Structure 1
Amino acid sequence: MDSFEALIGKNINDVVLNESTTFFVAPVEYFYKNCGKRYPASKFKLADLNYFDPIDFTDLFKFESILIIWYCNEIITDLELYYLSNDFDVLFMDYYRIKKAIDNGDAHKLREGDTKYLGASRLNEKVLQPNSDKLANRRELVLKKKYLQKMLNEMGFKCR
């Protein structure tokens, strides 16, 4: 872990982040609210969602943990190894809801609010979907900001 710890204080744009064979590597930007509390700047993309060949849950979450590289103003401030396996039950239920909507020809009705941690984030392009004559927005599977906020809260950051 020493090589990762050397990242703290470096500019995120100057660091080459290679995929790991044992965990996800996720650079996640955060900001501060006026009260000093940290919050994630955006969702974290896991994969593109192909309606006709959706990725299996086990392939989507092939690792039990995620190394989050938190950065603010382009400077890496913290590292966290977060165990996704603690939340696999919720993530699986979210995945099941998304997959069920696709299988039922209701991909056009998917909303990120339908799920808790794993979202099917909408993209602008419309595409065909299985079992329906309606077009649906393309989507990507993401870890929602709410889930990233949960991770931040569990880290117990102090207000600045």
Structure 2
Amino acid sequence: MNSFEAVIGKNINEVTLNESITFFVAPLKYSTKHCGRHYPQDKFKIADIDFFNLISFSQLFNREAILIVLYGEDNIIADSGIYYLSNDFDIFFDDYTIIKKAIDDGEVHLLTEGDTKYLGASRLNEKIPQPNSKKLANKRVFVFKKKYLQKIFDEINFCNF
């Protein structure tokens, strides 16, 4: 049994999950549909978005994988798995380009998460200035969208625990 398997069944609040230089650490709360399929309850934040000093794509994706740590309503860790991001870099790059273009064109206020596939620019409540526009825009964070996390759940086969 590896060291992480030893924490399966522990409360998520009892385990320290530190970020790694080689992978994202994503503690994700899941729910179960009536059919028994598990799904993520929320998106996973990967970085803040600074409209005036946008992080480069290579800095944003300087990690090779994501470690998913699943826990349920009772905060008990149910499962974990590693998913390698390299297969999805083309889609991430396309999504990043859409978000960057909206920032460069002063149209962040028009950007929705539906404009991208896996990488989202999730809105926060705070309104801030944006480049090349007099309109204020909601502050944003880069996230892995629930759709992408569901893809990972399905590929890791989290539905069988």
User: TM-score w.r.t. structure 2 length?
Assistant: 0.95
Answering whether residue 129 of structure 2 is matched by residue 120 of structure 1, we say no
Partners of 2:68 and 2:24 in 1: CA distance? 8
The answer to whether the aligner puts 1:70 opposite 2:70 as a matched pair is yes
> 1:61 is matched by which residue type in structure 2?
F
Q: CA deviation at 1:159?
A: 5.7
Q: Distance in 1 between matches of 2:158 and 2:65?
A: 20
Distance 1:121 1:80 in 2: 25
In structure 2, what is the Cα distance between the partners aligned to 1:23 and 1:84?
A: 9
Deviations 1:116-142 (A, max 9, x none): 000000111110000111110101110
Separation (CA, whole Å) in 2 of partners of 1:108 and 1:19: 31
Correspondences of 1:10-159 after superposition (within 5 Å): 10-73=10-73, 74-158=75-159
Post-superposition Cα deviations, 1:44-80, rounded to whole Å, max 9, x if no partner, equal 0001111001111111111111111111121111111
User: Could you tell me how far apart the structure 2 residues matched to 1:18 and 1:118 are?
Assistant: 22
Match of 1:3, SS?
A: coil
CA distance in 2, matches of 1:49, 1:157: 31
Name the % identity: 62
Q: Report the Cα offset of residue 150 of structure 1.
A: 0.5
How many residue pairs match? The answer is 160
> Against the structure 1 CA distance between its residues 63 and 159, is the aligned structure 2 distance closer, same or farther, given a 3 Å change threshold?
closer
SS of 2:54 mapped into structure 1: coil
- TM-score normalized by structure 1? 0.95
Query: What's the RMSD between the two structures over aligned residues?
Result: 1.4
**Rounded Cα–Cα distance in structure 1 between residues aligned with 2:30 and 2:45:** 15
Q: How far apart, in 1, do the equivalents of 2:31 and 2:137 lie?
A: 33
SS at match of 1:120: strand
Work out the CA distance in 2 between the residues paired with 1:104 and 1:130: 8
| Unmatched segments (≥5 aa) in structure 2 | none
CA distance in 2: counterparts of 1:20 and 1:158, whole angstroms? 26
CA offsets per residue over residues 63-101 of structure 1, 9 Å max, x none? Answer: 111111111121111111100111000011001100010
Q: Is the 8 A contact 2:83 2:156 kept in 1?
A: no
